[in-house]
């Protein structure tokens, strides 16, 4: 029952995010749309941002969850772009709010674990310090996140969508090369 209530609250939040920026949405708005009381909301979530985080994690697992192999990781990132585009009104309302950094952090939190997974696959048998490994993971993550944020800033126009395809092509093979450059001999 708890999961159903969380899903209902998340659905109400998404509905409201299609209409207005996050900083204009209150808990009262969410519970009125959902048909529950404030106590129910606070039983499940501390605040709206915890609800957003819960929603984002669940939807990200749906979008990226099927792309956890080396052969399908690029499709996962393209699916992420598709998901963002399919939810354009929500994304744009988040982008144009004073909480834009939550959107960027959300995208980063989706991308980084996958980058780390693929770097671990590519670095098998190599000895790389944790500091160097983290640096490489950050570099690839920031590249993807920056392109995504530029794409959103450009109202999700094709140019940045193509940039992501080009960047993913650039990454293909470069991860192993980069890891080899940082590997200890």
In this predicted structure, the answer to whether residue 34 has a pLDDT above a threshold of 90 is yes
Give me the pLDDT at residue 65, please: 66
* Alpha helices (H) along 18-157: 27-34, 38-44, 48-64, 73-86, 88-95, 100-122, 130-153
In b/e form, how buried is each residue of 160-183, taking b as 16+ CB within 10 angstroms?
Answer: bbebbeebbeebeeebbebbeebe
pLDDT digits (tens, 9 = 90+) for 76-124: 777 878 888 888 888 888 888 877 887 888 888 888 888 888 889 889 9
User: Is 70 exceeded by the pLDDT of residue 33?
Assistant: yes
Q: Which helix (H) or strand (E) holds 176?
A: helix 174-182
Cα torsion for 49, 38, 40, 37, to the nearest 10°?
A: -140
Q: Under CATH, which architecture does the 1-58 domain have?
A: Orthogonal Bundle (1.10)
pLDDT tens-place string over residues 142-167: 988 998 898 889 888 866 567 777 87
Percent of the chain exceeding pLDDT 90 equals 33
- What's the length of the chain? 185
74 has a pLDDT exceeding 90 = no
pTM for the model stands at: 0.76
Question: Among 111, 102, 96, 116, which residue's Cα sits nearest to residue 156?
Answer: 96
pLDDT band for 174, please (50, 70, 90 cuts).
confident
Could you tell me if 22 and 95 are in contact, meaning their C-beta atoms sit under 8 angstroms apart? no
Q: Is the pLDDT score of 71 beyond 70?
A: no
Domains of the chain by residue range: 1-58, 65-185
- What is the structure's pLDDT at 11? 94
- Predicted pLDDT of residue 160: 59
Kindly indicate the confidence band of residue 70, based on its pLDDT and cuts at 50, 70 and 90. Answer: low
């Amino acid at each position: 029952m708890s999961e159903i209530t969380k899903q209902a609250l998340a659905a109400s939040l998404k509905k409201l995010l299609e209409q207005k920026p996050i900083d204009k949405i209150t808990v009262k708005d969410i519970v009125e749309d959902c048909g529950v009381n404030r106590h129910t909301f606070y039983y499940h979530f501390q605040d709206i941002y915890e609800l957003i985080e819960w929603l984002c994690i669940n939807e990200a697992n749906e979008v990226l969850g099927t792309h956890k192999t080396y052969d399908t990781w690029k499709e996962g990132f393209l699916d992420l772009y598709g998901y963002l585009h399919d939810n354009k009104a929500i994304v744009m309302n988040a982008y144009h709010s004073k909480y834009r950094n939550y959107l960027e952090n959300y995208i980063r939190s989706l991308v980084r674990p996958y980058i780390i997974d693929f770097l671990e696959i590519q670095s098998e048998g190599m000895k790389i310090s944790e500091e160097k490994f983290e640096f490489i993971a950050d570099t690839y993550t920031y590249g993807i996140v920056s392109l995504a944020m530029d794409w959103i800033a450009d109202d999700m126009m094709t140019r940045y969508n193509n940039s992501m395809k080009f960047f993913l092509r650039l990454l293909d093979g470069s991860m192993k090369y980069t890891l080899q450059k940082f590997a200890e001999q």
